[in-house]
Structure 1
Protein backbone atom coordinates (compact mmCIF):
# COMPACT_ATOMS: atom_id res chain seq x y z
CA UNK A 1 0.00 0.00 0.00
CA UNK A 2 1.33 3.42 -0.97
CA UNK A 3 1.21 5.84 1.94
CA UNK A 4 0.58 9.57 1.57
CA UNK A 5 2.65 11.57 4.03
CA UNK A 6 1.30 14.46 6.07
CA UNK A 7 3.19 17.74 6.30
CA UNK A 8 4.42 16.75 9.76
CA UNK A 9 5.74 13.48 8.37
CA UNK A 10 7.44 15.24 5.47
CA UNK A 11 9.09 17.63 7.91
CA UNK A 12 10.42 14.64 9.89
CA UNK A 13 11.78 13.19 6.65
CA UNK A 14 13.44 16.51 5.83
CA UNK A 15 15.36 16.33 9.09
CA UNK A 16 16.46 12.73 8.42
CA UNK A 17 17.28 13.60 4.82
CA UNK A 18 19.48 16.52 5.81
CA UNK A 19 21.58 14.24 7.99
CA UNK A 20 22.01 11.89 5.04
CA UNK A 21 23.02 14.77 2.75
CA UNK A 22 25.52 16.13 5.28
CA UNK A 23 26.97 12.65 5.80
CA UNK A 24 27.48 12.22 2.04
CA UNK A 25 29.26 15.56 1.87
CA UNK A 26 31.53 14.47 4.72
CA UNK A 27 32.32 11.14 3.07
CA UNK A 28 33.07 12.80 -0.26
CA UNK A 29 35.60 15.06 1.47
CA UNK A 30 37.36 12.04 3.02
CA UNK A 31 37.65 9.65 0.08
CA UNK A 32 41.22 9.15 -1.10
CA UNK A 33 43.49 6.34 -2.25
CA UNK A 34 44.67 4.12 0.59
CA UNK A 35 41.50 4.33 2.68
CA UNK A 36 39.55 1.19 3.40
CA UNK A 37 35.82 0.95 2.86
CA UNK A 38 35.54 0.22 6.58
CA UNK A 39 37.16 3.60 7.29
CA UNK A 40 34.28 5.24 5.43
CA UNK A 41 31.74 3.13 7.29
CA UNK A 42 33.10 4.27 10.64
CA UNK A 43 33.11 7.93 9.58
CA UNK A 44 29.47 7.65 8.51
CA UNK A 45 28.27 5.83 11.60
CA UNK A 46 29.99 8.27 13.94
CA UNK A 47 28.52 11.28 12.13
CA UNK A 48 24.97 9.90 11.98
CA UNK A 49 24.97 9.02 15.67
CA UNK A 50 26.37 12.44 16.59
CA UNK A 51 23.28 13.98 14.97
CA UNK A 52 21.04 11.94 17.25
CA UNK A 53 19.99 9.60 14.45
CA UNK A 54 20.48 5.89 13.81
CA UNK A 55 22.27 4.44 10.76
CA UNK A 56 19.30 2.76 9.07
CA UNK A 57 21.32 0.12 7.24
CA UNK A 58 23.00 -1.26 10.38
CA UNK A 59 21.28 -4.55 11.15
CA UNK A 60 18.68 -4.10 8.41
CA UNK A 61 17.72 -7.67 7.47
CA UNK A 62 21.05 -8.64 9.01
CA UNK A 63 23.27 -6.19 7.09
CA UNK A 64 26.45 -5.82 9.18
CA UNK A 65 27.42 -2.19 8.53
CA UNK A 66 26.16 1.39 8.43
CA UNK A 67 26.80 2.04 4.72
CA UNK A 68 26.94 0.05 1.52
CA UNK A 69 30.30 0.62 -0.17
CA UNK A 70 30.33 -0.78 -3.71
CA UNK A 71 33.60 -0.51 -5.66
CA UNK A 72 34.00 -0.66 -9.46
CA UNK A 73 32.03 -3.70 -10.70
CA UNK A 74 30.00 -3.89 -7.47
CA UNK A 75 26.50 -2.59 -8.21
CA UNK A 76 24.95 -2.36 -4.75
CA UNK A 77 25.20 -3.72 -1.19
CA UNK A 78 28.99 -3.84 -0.98
CA UNK A 79 29.99 -4.72 2.59
CA UNK A 80 32.63 -2.40 4.08
CA UNK A 81 35.85 -4.13 5.07
CA UNK A 82 39.60 -4.05 4.63
CA UNK A 83 39.56 -3.40 0.87
CA UNK A 84 41.78 -0.38 0.20
CA UNK A 85 40.70 2.15 -2.37
CA UNK A 86 43.20 2.84 -5.11
CA UNK A 87 43.71 5.57 -7.67
CA UNK A 88 41.25 5.11 -10.52
CA UNK A 89 38.56 3.27 -8.55
CA UNK A 90 34.99 4.43 -8.34
CA UNK A 91 32.95 3.80 -5.21
CA UNK A 92 29.19 3.98 -4.70
CA UNK A 93 28.25 4.86 -1.13
CA UNK A 94 24.64 4.21 -0.13
CA UNK A 95 23.45 5.20 3.34
CA UNK A 96 20.40 5.97 5.41
CA UNK A 97 19.56 7.75 8.64
CA UNK A 98 16.53 7.23 10.85
CA UNK A 99 15.44 10.15 13.01
CA UNK A 100 12.18 10.45 14.91
CA UNK A 101 10.91 7.28 13.29
CA UNK A 102 11.42 8.44 9.69
CA UNK A 103 14.08 7.52 7.15
CA UNK A 104 16.26 9.38 4.66
CA UNK A 105 18.10 7.32 2.02
CA UNK A 106 20.56 8.40 -0.69
CA UNK A 107 23.51 7.11 -2.71
CA UNK A 108 26.40 8.76 -4.53
CA UNK A 109 29.20 7.39 -6.72
CA UNK A 110 32.61 8.99 -6.23
CA UNK A 111 35.92 9.02 -8.04
CA UNK A 112 38.99 7.87 -6.13
CA UNK A 113 41.71 10.18 -7.37
CA UNK A 114 42.00 10.45 -11.15
CA UNK A 115 39.64 8.13 -13.03
CA UNK A 116 39.12 7.20 -16.68
CA UNK A 117 36.94 9.24 -19.02
CA UNK A 118 34.56 6.31 -19.31
CA UNK A 119 34.20 6.02 -15.53
CA UNK A 120 33.52 9.75 -15.22
CA UNK A 121 30.95 9.60 -17.98
CA UNK A 122 29.25 6.70 -16.20
CA UNK A 123 29.01 8.67 -12.96
CA UNK A 124 27.73 11.77 -14.78
CA UNK A 125 25.12 9.92 -16.84
CA UNK A 126 23.80 8.04 -13.82
CA UNK A 127 23.28 11.32 -11.98
CA UNK A 128 21.80 12.96 -15.09
CA UNK A 129 19.29 10.12 -15.48
CA UNK A 130 18.03 10.69 -11.94
CA UNK A 131 17.34 14.35 -12.60
CA UNK A 132 15.65 13.59 -15.91
CA UNK A 133 13.48 11.01 -14.18
CA UNK A 134 12.25 13.31 -11.46
CA UNK A 135 11.03 15.82 -14.02
CA UNK A 136 8.04 13.46 -14.12
CA UNK A 137 7.73 13.10 -10.34
CA UNK A 138 4.63 15.25 -10.06
CA UNK A 139 0.88 14.91 -10.18
CA UNK A 140 -0.48 14.15 -13.64
CA UNK A 141 2.12 11.48 -14.42
CA UNK A 142 2.36 7.77 -13.70
CA UNK A 143 5.19 5.99 -11.94
CA UNK A 144 6.62 4.43 -15.10
CA UNK A 145 7.05 7.88 -16.65
CA UNK A 146 9.93 8.34 -14.20
CA UNK A 147 11.28 4.89 -15.05
CA UNK A 148 11.14 5.46 -18.80
CA UNK A 149 12.88 8.83 -18.62
CA UNK A 150 15.77 7.30 -16.66
CA UNK A 151 16.16 4.47 -19.16
CA UNK A 152 16.16 6.82 -22.14
CA UNK A 153 19.06 8.89 -20.78
CA UNK A 154 21.11 5.84 -19.83
CA UNK A 155 20.70 3.97 -23.10
CA UNK A 156 21.18 7.08 -25.24
CA UNK A 157 24.66 7.24 -23.72
CA UNK A 158 25.47 3.62 -24.48
CA UNK A 159 25.07 2.25 -20.95
CA UNK A 160 22.54 -0.20 -19.48
CA UNK A 161 20.03 -0.02 -16.64
CA UNK A 162 20.05 -2.71 -13.96
CA UNK A 163 16.74 -4.60 -14.00
CA UNK A 164 16.97 -6.74 -10.88
CA UNK A 165 17.12 -3.92 -8.31
CA UNK A 166 14.81 -0.94 -8.14
CA UNK A 167 13.86 2.18 -6.21
CA UNK A 168 11.09 2.27 -3.63
CA UNK A 169 8.68 4.22 -1.52
CA UNK A 170 10.07 5.44 1.80
CA UNK A 171 8.85 6.83 5.10
CA UNK A 172 8.67 5.07 8.45
CA UNK A 173 10.31 2.12 6.71
CA UNK A 174 13.25 2.28 4.35
CA UNK A 175 11.47 0.13 1.78
CA UNK A 176 7.79 0.85 1.25
CA UNK A 177 5.47 0.57 -1.73
CA UNK A 178 5.71 1.20 -4.60
CA UNK A 179 8.72 -0.52 -6.19
CA UNK A 180 10.20 1.84 -8.80
CA UNK A 181 12.05 0.27 -11.76
CA UNK A 182 14.58 2.37 -13.65
CA UNK A 183 13.28 1.15 -17.01
CA UNK A 184 9.99 0.48 -18.77
CA UNK A 185 7.33 1.96 -21.01
CA UNK A 186 5.71 5.25 -20.01
CA UNK A 187 2.12 5.59 -18.89
CA UNK A 188 1.94 2.63 -16.52
CA UNK A 189 1.77 2.08 -12.79
CA UNK A 190 0.16 4.17 -10.04
CA UNK A 191 -0.75 7.77 -10.64
CA UNK A 192 1.54 10.09 -8.73
CA UNK A 193 0.00 12.12 -5.91
CA UNK A 194 1.10 14.90 -3.64
CA UNK A 195 2.47 13.49 -0.40
CA UNK A 196 4.20 10.47 -1.92
CA UNK A 197 7.81 10.06 -0.80
CA UNK A 198 10.01 8.02 -3.13
CA UNK A 199 13.63 6.88 -3.28
CA UNK A 200 14.62 7.14 -6.94
CA UNK A 201 17.89 5.31 -7.59
CA UNK A 202 19.30 4.57 -11.04
CA UNK A 203 21.88 1.77 -11.07
CA UNK A 204 23.80 1.90 -14.35
CA UNK A 205 26.37 -0.44 -15.91
CA UNK A 206 28.94 0.13 -18.63
CA UNK A 207 28.25 -3.32 -20.06
CA UNK A 208 25.39 -5.77 -19.59
CA UNK A 209 22.53 -5.04 -17.23
CA UNK A 210 22.76 -8.62 -15.95
CA UNK A 211 24.06 -8.99 -12.40
CA UNK A 212 24.98 -11.76 -9.99
CA UNK A 213 25.02 -12.13 -6.22
CA UNK A 214 28.29 -12.91 -4.45
CA UNK A 215 28.67 -15.68 -1.90
CA UNK A 216 28.23 -13.25 0.99
CA UNK A 217 24.53 -13.06 -0.03
CA UNK A 218 24.64 -9.26 -0.11
CA UNK A 219 27.00 -7.82 -2.69
CA UNK A 220 25.67 -7.58 -6.25
CA UNK A 221 28.18 -7.32 -9.12
CA UNK A 222 27.91 -6.89 -12.87
CA UNK A 223 27.81 -10.24 -14.66
CA UNK A 224 30.54 -9.16 -17.09
CA UNK A 225 32.79 -7.38 -14.58
CA UNK A 226 32.10 -3.94 -16.08
CA UNK A 227 31.90 -0.77 -14.00
CA UNK A 228 28.65 0.22 -12.30
CA UNK A 229 27.42 3.48 -10.76
CA UNK A 230 24.54 4.32 -8.40
CA UNK A 231 22.81 7.63 -7.67
CA UNK A 232 19.85 8.04 -5.32
CA UNK A 233 17.82 10.64 -3.48
CA UNK A 234 14.68 10.64 -1.37
CA UNK A 235 12.09 12.95 -2.92
CA UNK A 236 8.72 14.37 -1.89
CA UNK A 237 6.04 14.91 -4.53
CA UNK A 238 4.74 18.42 -3.92
CA UNK A 239 1.91 18.35 -6.46
CA UNK A 240 2.16 19.62 -10.01
CA UNK A 241 5.35 21.52 -9.22
CA UNK A 242 8.85 20.02 -9.21
CA UNK A 243 9.45 17.54 -6.40
CA UNK A 244 11.47 18.44 -3.33
CA UNK A 245 14.73 16.52 -2.93
CA UNK A 246 15.00 15.72 0.77
CA UNK A 247 18.57 14.38 0.70
CA UNK A 248 20.45 17.24 -0.94
CA UNK A 249 21.97 20.29 0.72
Structure 2
Protein backbone atom coordinates (compact mmCIF):
# COMPACT_ATOMS: atom_id res chain seq x y z
CA UNK A 1 0.00 0.00 0.00
CA UNK A 2 2.93 2.36 0.63
CA UNK A 3 3.98 2.10 -3.02
CA UNK A 4 0.48 2.85 -4.27
CA UNK A 5 0.21 5.95 -2.08
CA UNK A 6 3.48 7.30 -3.45
CA UNK A 7 2.35 7.00 -7.08
CA UNK A 8 -0.89 8.98 -6.97
CA UNK A 9 -1.42 12.63 -6.10
CA UNK A 10 -4.51 14.35 -4.75
CA UNK A 11 -6.39 16.86 -6.95
CA UNK A 12 -4.85 19.72 -4.96
CA UNK A 13 -1.37 18.31 -5.47
CA UNK A 14 -1.93 18.01 -9.22
CA UNK A 15 -3.04 21.64 -9.34
CA UNK A 16 0.16 22.58 -7.51
CA UNK A 17 2.17 20.94 -10.28
CA UNK A 18 0.77 23.19 -13.00
CA UNK A 19 3.02 26.19 -12.26
CA UNK A 20 6.37 24.35 -12.18
CA UNK A 21 5.37 22.75 -15.47
CA UNK A 22 4.66 26.14 -17.03
CA UNK A 23 7.93 27.56 -15.70
CA UNK A 24 9.80 24.64 -17.26
CA UNK A 25 8.02 25.24 -20.57
CA UNK A 26 8.89 28.94 -20.48
CA UNK A 27 12.55 28.15 -19.82
CA UNK A 28 12.68 25.88 -22.85
CA UNK A 29 10.90 28.51 -24.97
CA UNK A 30 13.64 30.98 -24.03
CA UNK A 31 16.31 28.49 -25.09
CA UNK A 32 14.55 27.75 -28.38
CA UNK A 33 14.55 31.46 -29.23
CA UNK A 34 18.32 31.71 -28.69
CA UNK A 35 19.38 28.73 -30.79
CA UNK A 36 21.46 29.88 -33.76
CA UNK A 37 24.90 29.28 -35.27
CA UNK A 38 27.63 30.80 -33.10
CA UNK A 39 25.75 30.50 -29.81
CA UNK A 40 27.36 28.43 -27.05
CA UNK A 41 25.54 25.84 -25.03
CA UNK A 42 26.46 27.81 -21.89
CA UNK A 43 24.54 30.79 -23.27
CA UNK A 44 21.50 28.58 -23.78
CA UNK A 45 21.78 27.35 -20.22
CA UNK A 46 21.94 30.94 -18.96
CA UNK A 47 18.76 31.80 -20.85
CA UNK A 48 16.90 28.95 -19.19
CA UNK A 49 18.29 29.84 -15.77
CA UNK A 50 17.15 33.46 -16.09
CA UNK A 51 13.56 32.38 -16.67
CA UNK A 52 13.51 29.89 -13.81
CA UNK A 53 14.88 32.46 -11.34
CA UNK A 54 12.61 35.27 -12.61
CA UNK A 55 9.57 33.07 -12.02
CA UNK A 56 10.54 32.44 -8.40
CA UNK A 57 11.55 28.82 -8.93
CA UNK A 58 14.81 26.89 -8.71
CA UNK A 59 16.48 24.48 -11.08
CA UNK A 60 15.78 20.94 -9.96
CA UNK A 61 18.73 19.80 -12.08
CA UNK A 62 20.99 21.73 -9.71
CA UNK A 63 19.54 19.72 -6.84
CA UNK A 64 21.07 16.57 -8.34
CA UNK A 65 24.36 15.82 -6.57
CA UNK A 66 27.34 16.95 -8.61
CA UNK A 67 25.38 18.91 -11.23
CA UNK A 68 25.41 22.72 -11.31
CA UNK A 69 23.52 23.65 -14.48
CA UNK A 70 19.86 24.43 -15.21
CA UNK A 71 19.78 22.30 -18.34
CA UNK A 72 21.34 19.32 -20.02
CA UNK A 73 22.26 20.13 -23.62
CA UNK A 74 23.25 17.32 -25.98
CA UNK A 75 24.53 17.90 -29.52
CA UNK A 76 24.55 15.52 -32.52
CA UNK A 77 25.75 12.09 -31.35
CA UNK A 78 25.17 13.06 -27.71
CA UNK A 79 21.68 11.84 -26.81
CA UNK A 80 21.10 12.98 -23.22
CA UNK A 81 22.81 14.49 -20.15
CA UNK A 82 25.20 16.73 -22.09
CA UNK A 83 26.80 19.45 -19.95
CA UNK A 84 26.45 23.07 -21.13
CA UNK A 85 29.75 24.83 -21.75
CA UNK A 86 31.92 26.44 -24.40
CA UNK A 87 30.71 24.34 -27.34
CA UNK A 88 29.64 26.61 -30.21
CA UNK A 89 26.59 25.54 -32.20
CA UNK A 90 26.90 25.17 -35.96
CA UNK A 91 24.24 25.23 -38.67
CA UNK A 92 22.65 21.81 -39.03
CA UNK A 93 23.50 20.60 -35.51
CA UNK A 94 20.76 18.67 -33.75
CA UNK A 95 20.46 19.93 -30.17
CA UNK A 96 18.44 18.36 -27.35
CA UNK A 97 17.69 20.53 -24.32
CA UNK A 98 16.38 18.99 -21.10
CA UNK A 99 15.25 21.32 -18.29
CA UNK A 100 13.29 21.29 -15.06
CA UNK A 101 12.03 23.62 -12.37
CA UNK A 102 10.99 23.19 -8.77
CA UNK A 103 8.36 25.61 -7.47
CA UNK A 104 6.98 25.49 -3.94
CA UNK A 105 8.18 21.92 -3.56
CA UNK A 106 6.73 20.56 -6.82
CA UNK A 107 8.59 19.70 -10.01
CA UNK A 108 8.38 20.02 -13.77
CA UNK A 109 10.58 18.23 -16.31
CA UNK A 110 10.61 18.56 -20.09
CA UNK A 111 12.88 18.33 -23.13
CA UNK A 112 12.89 19.56 -26.71
CA UNK A 113 15.09 18.93 -29.73
CA UNK A 114 15.94 21.65 -32.25
CA UNK A 115 17.96 21.56 -35.46
CA UNK A 116 20.12 24.68 -35.76
CA UNK A 117 19.03 26.67 -38.83
CA UNK A 118 21.32 28.03 -41.54
CA UNK A 119 23.33 27.22 -44.67
CA UNK A 120 22.28 25.15 -47.66
CA UNK A 121 23.59 22.39 -49.87
CA UNK A 122 25.18 19.43 -48.11
CA UNK A 123 24.53 20.89 -44.65
CA UNK A 124 20.87 21.31 -45.55
CA UNK A 125 20.58 17.61 -46.42
CA UNK A 126 22.07 16.63 -43.08
CA UNK A 127 19.77 19.06 -41.28
CA UNK A 128 16.75 17.56 -43.07
CA UNK A 129 17.66 14.05 -41.91
CA UNK A 130 18.19 15.30 -38.38
CA UNK A 131 14.89 17.16 -38.44
CA UNK A 132 13.14 13.94 -39.38
CA UNK A 133 14.76 12.20 -36.42
CA UNK A 134 13.49 14.96 -34.13
CA UNK A 135 10.02 14.80 -35.67
CA UNK A 136 9.82 11.03 -35.20
CA UNK A 137 10.92 11.31 -31.59
CA UNK A 138 8.42 14.08 -30.86
CA UNK A 139 5.67 12.14 -32.60
CA UNK A 140 6.49 9.10 -30.48
CA UNK A 141 6.23 11.26 -27.37
CA UNK A 142 2.74 12.43 -28.32
CA UNK A 143 1.74 8.87 -29.21
CA UNK A 144 2.76 7.83 -25.70
CA UNK A 145 0.88 10.71 -24.10
CA UNK A 146 -2.21 9.92 -26.17
CA UNK A 147 -2.01 6.28 -25.08
CA UNK A 148 -1.91 7.40 -21.45
CA UNK A 149 -5.32 9.02 -21.90
CA UNK A 150 -6.99 5.60 -22.30
CA UNK A 151 -4.40 3.23 -20.81
CA UNK A 152 -5.14 0.83 -18.01
CA UNK A 153 -1.47 0.22 -17.13
CA UNK A 154 1.64 2.38 -17.40
CA UNK A 155 3.39 -0.11 -19.71
CA UNK A 156 0.94 0.71 -22.50
CA UNK A 157 2.83 3.99 -22.97
CA UNK A 158 5.98 2.19 -24.07
CA UNK A 159 4.03 0.03 -26.50
CA UNK A 160 2.63 3.15 -28.15
CA UNK A 161 6.03 4.85 -28.29
CA UNK A 162 7.78 1.85 -29.82
CA UNK A 163 4.93 1.23 -32.26
CA UNK A 164 5.09 4.80 -33.54
CA UNK A 165 8.85 4.60 -34.06
CA UNK A 166 8.60 1.24 -35.82
CA UNK A 167 5.99 2.59 -38.21
CA UNK A 168 8.14 5.63 -38.93
CA UNK A 169 11.19 3.43 -39.59
CA UNK A 170 9.20 1.36 -42.08
CA UNK A 171 7.83 4.45 -43.83
CA UNK A 172 11.23 6.12 -43.99
CA UNK A 173 13.25 3.03 -44.85
CA UNK A 174 15.43 4.07 -41.94
CA UNK A 175 16.85 2.69 -38.72
CA UNK A 176 15.85 4.25 -35.42
CA UNK A 177 17.19 3.06 -32.10
CA UNK A 178 15.34 3.47 -28.79
CA UNK A 179 17.62 3.88 -25.79
CA UNK A 180 17.00 1.02 -23.35
CA UNK A 181 19.08 2.11 -20.39
CA UNK A 182 17.38 5.49 -19.97
CA UNK A 183 13.65 5.80 -19.37
CA UNK A 184 10.86 8.06 -18.17
CA UNK A 185 9.65 8.31 -14.60
CA UNK A 186 7.07 9.55 -12.16
CA UNK A 187 7.32 13.15 -11.01
CA UNK A 188 6.01 15.16 -8.08
CA UNK A 189 7.74 16.26 -4.89
CA UNK A 190 10.90 14.90 -6.47
CA UNK A 191 11.92 15.20 -10.10
CA UNK A 192 12.41 11.44 -10.32
CA UNK A 193 9.80 9.24 -8.65
CA UNK A 194 8.11 5.95 -9.43
CA UNK A 195 6.87 4.46 -11.64
CA UNK A 196 9.39 3.69 -14.36
CA UNK A 197 7.99 4.69 -17.76
CA UNK A 198 9.58 2.57 -20.48
CA UNK A 199 9.85 3.78 -24.08
CA UNK A 200 9.51 0.26 -25.41
CA UNK A 201 7.36 -2.82 -24.90
CA UNK A 202 7.74 -4.72 -21.65
CA UNK A 203 6.11 -7.89 -20.41
CA UNK A 204 5.17 -6.42 -17.04
CA UNK A 205 2.81 -3.52 -17.73
CA UNK A 206 3.36 -2.06 -14.28
CA UNK A 207 1.00 -0.07 -12.07
CA UNK A 208 -2.51 1.06 -12.88
CA UNK A 209 -3.23 4.32 -14.64
CA UNK A 210 -5.75 6.19 -12.52
CA UNK A 211 -6.40 9.75 -11.31
CA UNK A 212 -3.43 11.17 -9.46
CA UNK A 213 -0.75 9.55 -11.61
CA UNK A 214 1.85 12.01 -12.82
CA UNK A 215 4.63 10.88 -15.16
CA UNK A 216 7.40 12.26 -17.33
CA UNK A 217 7.35 10.52 -20.70
CA UNK A 218 10.63 10.95 -22.61
CA UNK A 219 11.58 8.93 -25.67
CA UNK A 220 15.29 9.08 -26.50
CA UNK A 221 15.88 7.96 -30.08
CA UNK A 222 18.92 7.59 -32.35
CA UNK A 223 19.35 7.43 -36.11
CA UNK A 224 21.26 4.16 -35.74
CA UNK A 225 22.11 1.73 -32.97
CA UNK A 226 20.74 2.17 -29.45
CA UNK A 227 24.15 1.34 -27.98
CA UNK A 228 25.64 4.22 -25.97
CA UNK A 229 28.49 5.03 -23.62
CA UNK A 230 29.03 7.71 -20.95
CA UNK A 231 31.77 10.20 -21.79
CA UNK A 232 34.67 11.03 -19.47
CA UNK A 233 32.67 13.83 -17.83
CA UNK A 234 30.55 11.07 -16.20
CA UNK A 235 27.34 12.61 -17.55
CA UNK A 236 27.09 12.84 -21.33
CA UNK A 237 25.47 9.83 -23.01
CA UNK A 238 26.76 9.38 -26.57
CA UNK A 239 26.07 6.86 -29.32
CA UNK A 240 28.75 4.24 -29.94
CA UNK A 241 28.24 4.28 -33.72
CA UNK A 242 28.26 8.08 -34.01
CA UNK A 243 24.62 8.28 -35.04
CA UNK A 244 22.56 11.31 -34.03
CA UNK A 245 20.24 11.46 -31.04
CA UNK A 246 16.99 13.23 -30.21
CA UNK A 247 15.13 13.64 -26.92
CA UNK A 248 11.59 14.91 -26.29
CA UNK A 249 9.84 14.95 -22.93
CA UNK A 250 6.70 16.19 -21.19
CA UNK A 251 5.34 15.87 -17.66
CA UNK A 252 1.72 14.68 -17.76
CA UNK A 253 -0.98 14.48 -15.09
CA UNK A 254 -3.88 12.03 -15.06
CA UNK A 255 -6.99 13.23 -13.23
CA UNK A 256 -10.69 12.45 -13.01
CA UNK A 257 -11.46 14.58 -16.06
CA UNK A 258 -8.71 13.21 -18.33
CA UNK A 259 -5.07 14.18 -18.84
CA UNK A 260 -3.17 17.47 -18.87
CA UNK A 261 0.33 18.05 -20.21
CA UNK A 262 1.83 20.13 -17.43
CA UNK A 263 4.87 21.28 -19.42
CA UNK A 264 2.92 22.51 -22.47
CA UNK A 265 1.36 25.98 -22.39
CA UNK A 266 -1.79 24.65 -24.06
CA UNK A 267 -1.94 21.52 -21.90
CA UNK A 268 -1.00 19.44 -24.93
CA UNK A 269 -3.98 20.38 -27.12
CA UNK A 270 -1.97 20.84 -30.33
CA UNK A 271 0.18 17.74 -29.90
CA UNK A 272 -2.75 15.51 -28.99
CA UNK A 273 -5.14 16.76 -31.70
CA UNK A 274 -3.85 14.30 -34.37
CA UNK A 275 -4.66 11.47 -31.96
CA UNK A 276 -8.17 12.67 -31.25
CA UNK A 277 -7.43 13.35 -27.58
CA UNK A 278 -8.62 16.58 -25.95
CA UNK A 279 -6.82 17.45 -22.70
CA UNK A 280 -8.49 19.12 -19.73
CA UNK A 281 -6.84 20.91 -16.80
CA UNK A 282 -6.87 19.39 -13.31
CA UNK A 283 -9.94 20.62 -11.43
**TM exceeds 0.5?**
yes
Residues 109-166 of structure 1 show CA distances to partners (whole Å, capped at 9, x for unaligned) of 0111145221111010101001111122136521111001101111222212110100
RMSD: 1.5
**2:273 counterpart residue number:** none
Distance in 2 of aligned mates of 1:157 and 1:83: 32
TM-score, with structure 2 as normaliser = 0.84
In 2, are the aligned partners of 1:143 and 1:190 still within 8 Å (CA)?
yes
Map 1:125-144 to 2 at 5 A. Answer: 125-138=136-149, 140-144=151-155
Question: 2:244 maps to which residue?
Answer: 227
TM-score when normalising by structure 1:
0.95
Give the alignment of 1:32-71 within 5 angstroms: 32-71=36-75
Q: CA deviation at 1:27?
A: 1.1
**Structure 1 stretches of at least 4 aligned residues deviating more than 4 Å after TM superposition:** none
What are the equivalent positions in structure 2 for 1:18-97 lying under 5 Å apart? 18-97=22-101
155-164 vs 80-89, which deviates more? 155-164
Identify the residue that residue 178 of structure 1 maps to in structure 2: 195
- Counterparts of 2:67 and 2:12, CA distance in 1: 30
CA distance in 1 between counterparts of 2:224 and 2:246 reads 12
What is the CA-CA distance between 1:168 and the residue it aligns to? 0.2
The farther-off stretch of 105-114 and 226-235 is 105-114
Which 5+ residue runs of structure 2 have no aligned equivalent? 119-123, 170-175, 266-283
Q: Is the 8 A contact 1:92 1:108 kept in 2?
A: yes
SS at structure 1 position matched to 2:19 = helix
Residue aligning to 1:190: 207
2:181 corresponding residue in structure 1: 164
Supply the distance in 2 between the matched residues of 1:186 and 1:31 (Cα, whole angstroms).
Answer: 40
Shift in Å, 1:61: 2.1
Q: Distance in 2 between matches of 1:129 and 1:164?
A: 18
How many residue pairs align between the two structures? 248
Q: Which runs of 5+ in 1 are unaligned?
A: none
The answer to which of 126-135 and 137-146 deviates more is: 137-146
